[in-house]
Amino acid sequence: MQQLNHFVDGEYVDGTSGRFTEVFNPATGEAQLKIQLAGKDEVDAIVEKAAIAQQAWARVNPQRRARVFMKFGQLINENMDRLAEAISREHGKTLPDARGDVQRGLEVVEVCMGAPAMLKGEFTDNAGPDIDIYAMRQPLGVVAGITPFNFPAMIPLWKMSPAIAAGNAMILKPSERAPTCAFLLAELLHEAGLPKGVLQVVNGDKEAVDALLDNETIQAVGFVGSTPIAQYIYGRAATNGKRAQCFGGAKNHMVIMPDADIDKAADALLGAGFGAAGERCMAISVAVPVGKETADKLVEKLAPRIEALKVGPYTAGDDVDYGPVITAAAKDRIEGLIASGVEQGATLVTDGRDLKLQGYEGGFYVGPTMFDNVTPDMEIYKEEIFGPVLSQVRVETYEEALQLVMDNEYGNGTAIYTADGDTARDYASRVNVGMVGINFPIPVPLSYYSFGGWKKSAFGDLNQYGSDAFRFYTKTKTVTSRWYSGIKDGHELNFKALD
């Protein structure tokens, strides 16, 4: 079985911990790769190497750093299929979905090509008598990124690109479930001209994460994953005096008003709810139709569409709508939550349990599942299922729908489908959720804005990518300057009088 080692100082190196884990192909259930798991001593040594490299990288001017990202973007485009294949093989998502994963990360790389503009400071001439004040943005030093399995290209690119473009060194720890793409990206970034040691990629589990959180050289930590782990990392990082930007779980609702185009809403829910097997923090997992007639129509439109979805391995190409979930444990958990929905009284419209595909009996497949008549006290509503399961919660009024969303503990994304501008504007203004879509199912902002949720979906003051990322990965230094020339315009200055 092939083994994936750590990527340190621009080359692959053996680990020393003696601990390993296996990476599975979700389509078949077979182990396909063995990876080493770093221990504390390894992490500390890698961080020390990164700190040395960062000192020289910080002195490279922003325009030259940007040129590295120009080349990096070109190489990503040239290697799109190779990167997508690596993602699909370890995550299970279809190749078009995997290419989208890479593309959304590439868009952040493209923004980082404009790093010089993002890193400009401020200057005030003659703020006082012969006094100038200026502020400059400087890199933090060595930072860490801890990224999830569900977007093996996008999230690593969201983390490492602005951090490195801002002059930092980055220690990237990708998910041990789908690590290969992160290593391929590191290879491409070095091919683009990044100096050795500025980006180190290390495989690891909780031991490696804790080592990063406790290492005194690490100045900031970015994380994406579940809410309990986001809270843990945020708390431990803050205790150790680090900046932390931690994004957690979600329970995203789509409100469907009586005046909405039901066919368009149903089509939007199909992609937003079941794309990538629902393993997206921006997936719509709750449909909230307003009024009985709207709810009945939505079920009528959705049920045949859901039943027509095709599930299978990514190798089936365009014949597949989505693939398996990431692990056998994830499959068992999702099917357990479906069973709880039945037990607690929800109406099972389509049942995706016990899906078996000929020739892929060992794969981790869950068929598309929809519930109607779900209530907020049910486990399938309260839990982030992270699978191909859509719940419909019926409400009678717009205000009831809005309150349902606002009362939920998560606040990542939400959407509303309506033909009425006043309703849409009111919803966008009042809802306590970080990202809002109006007749748009997955409202992930473009890369020159920023991505971030509210409530228990995010911990930290700044969002991912865009200008917020450059603020997060830099610190401001303000200089107040006065030069004593002694004579100005032929007259000796009395500086004491000016003070």
479 CB-contact burial (10 Å; exposed 0-12 / middle 13-18 / buried 19+): exposed
- R_g of the chain, CA atoms, integer Å: 25
Sign of the alpha-carbon torsion through 92, 179, 72, 169: positive
185 in Cβ contact with 153 (< 8 Å): yes
3-state helix, strand, coil in the chain (%, to 5): 40, 25, 35
Sign of the alpha-carbon torsion through 264, 269, 270, 276: positive
Q: How many residues in the chain?
A: 499
Token code pair at residue 473:
């990965």
Token code pair at residue 382:
């309260």
- Measured CA to CA, the distance from residue 287 to residue 280 in angstroms comes to 16
178 in Cβ contact with 87 (< 8 Å): yes
Residues forming the active site: 281
380 in Cβ contact with 371 (< 8 Å): yes
444 in Cβ contact with 287 (< 8 Å): no
250 in Cβ contact with 457 (< 8 Å): yes
**β 458-459/243-247 pair status:** antiparallel
- Measured CA to CA, the distance from residue 377 to residue 393 in angstroms comes to 11
Token code pair at residue 371:
């519930």
What are the Cα distances from residue 34, in Å, to 3, 18, 53, 224, 327?
5, 12, 29, 23, 15
Say how far residue 284 (Cα) sits from the centre of its chain: 16
- Sequential DSSP letters for 128-152: ETTEEEEEEEEE-SEEEEE--SS-T
Q: Which residue matches tokens 């129509």?
A: 297
